Amino acid sequence: MDWERTKTLHPLTPPRSPPGWCCGFPGAPSHSTVSFSDDRLDTDTVATYSCDRGFELLGPARKICAENGTWTPAGIPFCVLNVAAGKAPMQSSVAEGGIPQKAVDGSSATAFSTDTCTLTNTERNPWWYVNLLEPYMVQLVRLDFGQSCCGNQPATIVVRVGNNRPDLGVNPVCNRFVGLLEEGRPLFLPCNPPMPGAFVSVHFEGPPGVQLSICEAFVYTDQALPIERCPSFRDQPPGSTATYNGKCYIFYNQQPKNFDDALEFCRSRGGSLVDETNPALQGFLSWELWRRHRGEQNGQYWMGAVRDPDDVNNWKWINGRDVTVSFWNLPGGNENCARFDGTKGWLWSDTNCNYDINFICQHRPMTCGKPEQPPNSTMVAANYNVDSEVEYRCDPGHVLIGPAQRTCLESGFFDEFPPTCRYLECGLPAPIQNGGYYFVNETRHYLSIVRYECKPGYTLVGRAELVCDIDERWNGPPPRCEPVLCDAPPPLLHGESSLSSPTVTVGISVSFTCDSGYTLVGASSLTCTPAGTFDGEPPRCQGKPRWTRGPAAGRVDVRGRRCSSAPL
């Protein structure tokens, strides 16, 4: 390692790869498919969005991977349904036959006509609303206005979403527009964030004394069950399917049957007759029946309620539960089956079970469709059918915020809110004296590792590796580099040692000398090495021999060892 510098570090912003690196997954809305021009997601890769059948794409259909590893344009489009079509509208007044239903009849026009557009009288603050029949998370309201308004004066349009009476103007404001209204020009008003409600209302708040005209109103949400996910059979009439609160309802009005045959027909197709009620559901079914028949005499439909054979004053659903909430048009009667009666405003009437009349089959959806996938993630799923699970995993450097698994419910929707993958990045690690660091994976995002090392002659004290944690901090203090020390050599018998420094660190030498009369055996000096040991064994001091005359011609040392026999 070059101890004069550390390796080049990734910049704090943008927290992505240097130019030329690939992008992560760009994110996808529910009910969509994303295709890529290059599966490696390199620079200039194009991501193209398409929606499942029945949904409409709102937002950019294409995104491009830029050199900095991000997608442009930013944001994720939506795959949405218009839940206002065919629902129940109302307005403050009607002029020239411009009834409120014309704003939700699917006949949008670019020019005003009372044949296709609504129109109120001249009023101080005219209004129009639609009852969606059940609460939705409203994401966007589009209004195609009829007549131009107000000359050079700006108009003030307020859209409200909620569950209170819409004509009172007390529901929360989704959006407000101030500007010129042009004939046939659509106005897009997003609710940010999406707002829940069964009523969407449009209020003309200024200037006073105007007429309100809407050629078509669209209320968009991505949390609605499309009829494309409902069962489909060859013999069912066109336009016979409607959805409500996670269930599918198929209205059979061309093959009347008696009660038992109608029930068996529905069950053979995986459904049943309608076997529940509440005020909201009764309102939905009444509206759908009224749309199909108005006040026709043949507008009669079986429902799944029968008289209790053990108590003639009690009614039971075909699933065995008691009917606790009811909508009879008249009390009493002696028949054992029940129907929705078109001659009584679609209230209930007891009926002879052998009559052949129309019927409604109620079904559960079979699938939830593809759920949302957040940017920089991978989604794993075998399929999207009811009871199946999807699992989310985030790309390196990202932490999962929200559920890791979601389950497809019987309602046709996934439980939980979709998670997000949040990018986390730690700051530069703390430097250390006599050492340095480098990034193991050349990154410093979440779960990246930094490794410290010391210069030669120093040893690391503390943790050599730290990890970038979820709080965007390194998960511990940096280590320190302490000098490598060699143990002082043992005392030299009959001699002494001297150090070149008071502390025996790497490179420091120790010199050895012997006392008079002794000879040094071994190295005269040793040096402390980076391993913390000296570069050799310590020497010893050996005494010099003393000579005396022996009995023979040779010389003998004091210890009796015979030496050479040279003459004296």
Encode burial over 476-504: b for 16+ CB neighbours within 10 A, e otherwise. eebbbbebbebeebeebeebebeeeeeeb
Predicted pLDDT at 298: 65
Establish if 385 belongs to a structural domain: yes
77/50 same-domain check: yes
350/237 same-domain check: yes
Establish if 10 belongs to a structural domain: no
Establish if 545 belongs to a structural domain: no
Q: What is the pLDDT of residues 188-210, one digit of tens each?
A: 999 988 899 999 999 998 888 88
Residue type, 531: A
Q: What is the average pLDDT across 513-535?
A: 90
Split into its structural domains, the chain has a count of: 4
Establish if 531 belongs to a structural domain: no
417/461 same-domain check: no
Predicted pLDDT at 555: 46
Q: What is the average pLDDT across 372-380?
A: 93
Would you report the helix, strand and coil content of the chain in percent, each value rounded to 5?
5, 40, 50
Residue 58 pLDDT class (50, 70, 90 cuts): confident
72/88 same-domain check: no
Sign of torsion over alpha carbons 465, 467, 468, 471: negative
- Is a pLDDT exceeding 50 seen at residue 7? no
- Is a pLDDT exceeding 60 seen at residue 275? yes
- Is a pLDDT exceeding 80 seen at residue 111? no
Contact 503, 483 (CB under 8 A): yes
Establish if 24 belongs to a structural domain: no
96/169 same-domain check: yes
170/265 same-domain check: no
- If one compares 107 and 323, the residue with the highest pLDDT of the two is 323
358/380 same-domain check: no
66/110 same-domain check: no
- If one compares 207 and 478, the residue with the highest pLDDT of the two is 478
Q: What is the pTM of this model?
A: 0.69
36/114 same-domain check: no
Residue 546 pLDDT class (50, 70, 90 cuts): low
Token pair 């010199």 is found at 511
Sign of torsion over alpha carbons 351, 357, 358, 363: positive
108/212 same-domain check: yes
Owning domain of residue 389: 32-81+367-423
* Strands of 234-318, DSSP E: 241-244, 247-257, 272-273, 300-308, 311-317
- Is a pLDDT exceeding 60 seen at residue 421? yes
Q: What is the average pLDDT across 11-23?
A: 48
Establish if 305 belongs to a structural domain: yes
- Is a pLDDT exceeding 60 seen at residue 457? yes
Q: What is the pLDDT of residues 133-184, one digit of tens each?
A: 889 999 999 998 887 777 778 889 999 999 988 877 889 999 999 988 887 7
Q: How many CB atoms lie within 10 A of CB 202?
A: 25
- Is a pLDDT exceeding 60 seen at residue 417? yes
Q: CB neighbours of 335 closer than 8 A, spacing ≥ 6? A: 307, 350, 351, 352, 353
Establish if 131 belongs to a structural domain: yes
Establish if 565 belongs to a structural domain: no
151/265 same-domain check: no
- Using only C-alpha atoms, the chain has a radius of gyration, in whole angstroms, of 44
Which of 167, 202, 221 terminates a domain? The answer is: 221
Tokens of 45: 């890769």
- Ranges 186-195, 412-421, 451-460, 540-549: which has the least confidence: 540-549
CATH code: domain of residue 251: 3.10.100.10
73/62 same-domain check: yes
Residue 345 pLDDT class (50, 70, 90 cuts): confident
